[in-house]
Homo-oligomer: A and B are copies of this chain.
């Protein structure tokens, strides 16, 4: 039986509260052979107490050896196999800038580019025009209308924008218009007959946009890539039976949360204590809180061991504020590892803490860290199992079979 089918049978809501605290890129690497990682180096008395009381384990985001991007990484945490639910680039780009994508939408990533007098692309990035120029050009393109659909154009950054068509029966199976060589931009060509009407609409839009841009310099043309429909996936609140909210600072994470159907909470500030306050302020309204801490990943990408450890210490210091709410289940993990040594996302499994008073057994873990997690009661598990832990330990799953 497939997982979401099974859940349909088993999920049985109650009034427990679950918090999923994601420190982005949490997993790390040591500075010297057999030394501590960023997390192990950080002073984290509160997390260590929770580790001692609860259980540890290691989450595999997308299978052995596979390094996930932020989109697949979070989908995994939310219980969706990222290799099964592949989200198109256009969709990710639009949710990443906070665009509220809906089920009737097809989204594409756009690049402003420069063509010569023969319409051959001579600069795929239009001289990397500044974002302010991008905003100005997008304003000029906004008035374009198409028959029977709504059109949204949004600036992203530098030469990048995104384009969304909204209407009945649209289909994103369309090839990129970027020829990836010195040649004229391609037309939007449907991969399947069902997408031909949508491709036509994109081509009409392209023709009107070219008319508007032709006297601009250097951004006198454009290409569209990563066409993608709104992903067809079970919605999180219904699938898991949880009134669910996202507390995050960056648009990308709010976007992915919104995509699966969570509410996104607005709040002031960007520190862990601000995020935990937002949780407290909304405690009675929701069953499930996804709280996203960005800067662990950022400092990992910087290659800064100490700074990443400091971010973790900041979260730990604010933690009593969250624990004062008395959640029934707290999960602390990351969407992937971002070891300082690699300055990038990595494939390494992510240390994970489950704290759920009254429903966990003893394990030998006394502090929160990668090495300790190797002998934790949760073992090594696919990230998609995390929500199963959350539901089970909050007693929200009925018995399977008599």
- Chain B hits for A84, CB < 8 A: 1
- Chain B hits for A391, CB < 8 A: 65
A62 located at the interface, meaning its Cβ lies under 8 Å from any Cβ of chain B in the complex? yes
- Chain B hits for A402, CB < 8 A: 69-71, 89, 92-93, 96
Bound complex: CA A375 to CA B358 (Å): 22
* A66-B388 contact in complex given A82-B400, A374-B375, C-beta closer than 8 Å: yes
In this complex, what residue of B is CB-closest to A382?
B64
Is B10 touching A66 in the complex (CB atoms < 8 A)? Answer: yes
Q: Name the distance in Å between A7's Cβ and chain B's nearest Cβ.
A: 10
Neighbour of A6 across the interface among B37, B52, B83, B364, CB < 8 A: B83
Give A365-380 as 1s and 0s: 1 = Cβ < 8 Å from B's Cβ atoms.
Answer: 0000011001111011
Q: A141-149, A274-282, A342-350: which one contacts chain B?
A: A342-350
- Chain B hits for A34, CB < 8 A: 52-53, 362
A86 located at the interface, meaning its Cβ lies under 8 Å from any Cβ of chain B in the complex? yes
Neighbour of A385 across the interface among B29, B30, B64, B358, CB < 8 A: B64
Is A397 touching B359 in the complex (CB atoms < 8 A)? Answer: no
In this complex, what residue of B is CB-closest to A398?
B67
A401 located at the interface, meaning its Cβ lies under 8 Å from any Cβ of chain B in the complex? yes
- Chain B hits for A359, CB < 8 A: 29, 341-342, 346
Bound complex: CA A95 to CA B66 (Å): 33
- Chain B hits for A371, CB < 8 A: 361-364
Q: Name the distance in Å between A296's Cβ and chain B's nearest Cβ.
A: 16
Bound complex: CA A86 to CA B9 (Å): 13
Is B30 touching A388 in the complex (CB atoms < 8 A)? Answer: no
- Chain B hits for A207, CB < 8 A: none
Most buried by B among A68, A93, A374: A374
A98 located at the interface, meaning its Cβ lies under 8 Å from any Cβ of chain B in the complex? no
Bound complex: CA A371 to CA B377 (Å): 8
Is B358 touching A65 in the complex (CB atoms < 8 A)? Answer: no
A137 located at the interface, meaning its Cβ lies under 8 Å from any Cβ of chain B in the complex? no
Most buried by B among A346, A397, A402: A402
- Chain B hits for A380, CB < 8 A: 379
A325 located at the interface, meaning its Cβ lies under 8 Å from any Cβ of chain B in the complex? no
Q: Name the distance in Å between A157's Cβ and chain B's nearest Cβ.
A: 13
A35 located at the interface, meaning its Cβ lies under 8 Å from any Cβ of chain B in the complex? yes
In this complex, what residue of B is CB-closest to A351?
B361
Is B400 touching A66 in the complex (CB atoms < 8 A)? Answer: yes
- Chain B hits for A348, CB < 8 A: 361
Q: Name the distance in Å between A367's Cβ and chain B's nearest Cβ.
A: 13
Give A4-16 as 1s and 0s: 1 = Cβ < 8 Å from B's Cβ atoms.
Answer: 0010001000000
A215 located at the interface, meaning its Cβ lies under 8 Å from any Cβ of chain B in the complex? no
Q: Name the distance in Å between A392's Cβ and chain B's nearest Cβ.
A: 4
Is B397 touching A35 in the complex (CB atoms < 8 A)? Answer: no
- Sample of 22 A–B contacts (CB below 8 Å): A1-B83, A29-B359, A30-B361, A34-B52, A36-B362, A37-B362, A64-B388, A66-B400, A67-B397, A67-B399, A67-B400, A68-B399, A68-B401, A70-B402, A71-B401, A72-B401, A93-B402, A346-B392, A364-B374, A374-B375, A375-B375, A379-B379
Q: Which 7 A-B pairs have the closest CB atoms?
A: A65-B388, A65-B392, A69-B401, A72-B401, A64-B385, A69-B402, A347-B392
**A residues engaging B (CB < 8 A)?**
1, 6, 10, 29-30, 33-37, 52-53, 58, 62-72, 82-84, 86-87, 89, 92-93, 96, 341-342, 344-348, 357-364, 370-371, 374-377, 379-381, 385, 388-389, 391-392, 397-402
- What 10 additional pairs, Cβ within 8 angstroms, besides A62-B400, A83-B400, A364-B374? A10-B66, A29-B359, A29-B361, A37-B361, A65-B388, A67-B397, A67-B399, A72-B400, A82-B401, A92-B401
